[in-house]
A and B are shown apart, each in its own frame.
Chain A
Amino acid sequence: MKSENWRNRGKVFVSRDEHGRFKTWRAVPAQSAFRSDYGAKSVAIYGYASIDWGRRSRRYEFHGNGRDIFRAVRLALRIVPKDENRYVTVSAREFLMHPYRYGKEGYWIDKEIES
């Protein structure tokens, strides 16, 4: 398949036979589809939190649609990032499906922190 620039479709992959006759085509995914994190807007949840003992700064960054983020933030209030990975950037839907992969039961602490 070779890429061509079509006036109505933009950049597309096109396959042609040995005589150059058109066979099939498919659209080229946008660059942003390959780099979903780049330029993605996200909601950051940060602060000091404790799981078993002590207090450490932790942070979630959720990207995705509004409804998933809304639910993920509600869940993140009681499931705080694990000690092994305290700074988590994840899609809100992925976090909702597997919250214990990214966090553990704990609580956030009211303490001054920089963004």
Chain B
Amino acid sequence: MTRKLSRKPILGYTDRTTVKLDFDGELFRKVKYWADRAMKHFRLGGYVILKSSRDHYHVVFNKTESWERNTQIIAWVALLSRNAGLKKWVLMQCIKGASTLRVSSKREKASPRIVFSEGKQDQEIATFKRWRRLIKKVD
């Protein structure tokens, strides 16, 4: 059986004001624990957890923050959670100067889907969902 080659690039959502996290190789309950802890510690209002693939999760928080504050939050979570994938992701976002989360499918992985939400969803999460719909339409 031959695998169909998809010559498509990956589409993602990028901005500086949404606090996002990318947990690789982490259990759902731990992702939820860190999302809860970050939300309470930095008063981020609410969050959604998206399942990217098995044991890979994305977290998007509701409150609009500056890029300086954003990097402070994601670096805090990366350091305390000791997740190697998250640490690497944070460094890459700092180099770019904006954070990106994948929205489209990637090789055999489906596009990330929302599996859990908590708290307010009216600011950055609402915007994220709107852009996610647009990107999925393009994809």
A residues in contact (CB < 8 Å) with B: 38-47, 49, 61, 66, 69-70, 73-74, 76-77, 87, 107-110, 112-115
Contact = CB atoms under 8 A, between A and B. Distances in A.
**Secondary structure of the A contact surface, majority rule:** mixed
Interface residues of B, number: 31
A81 B102 CA distance: 19
A107 B7 CA distance: 7
Contact of A45 (B9, B17, B88, B107): B9
Contact of B12 (A44, A69, A74): A44
A109 B7 contact: yes
A74 B9 CA distance: 11
28 contacts: A38-B16, A39-B15, A41-B13, A41-B14, A41-B127, A41-B131, A42-B14, A42-B15, A43-B11, A43-B135, A44-B12, A45-B10, A45-B11, A45-B12, A46-B9, A47-B10, A61-B14, A69-B138, A70-B138, A73-B138, A74-B138, A77-B9, A107-B7, A108-B7, A110-B6, A114-B89, A115-B10, A115-B22
Nearest to A111: B107
A46 B12 contact: yes
B126 to A, nearest CB: 12
B1 interface: no
B8 A44 contact: no
B80 interface: no
Contacts of A40: 15
Contact of B9 (A39, A66, A76, A112): A76
A44 B22 contact: no
Given A38-B16, A39-B17, A115-B89, A108 B9 contact: yes
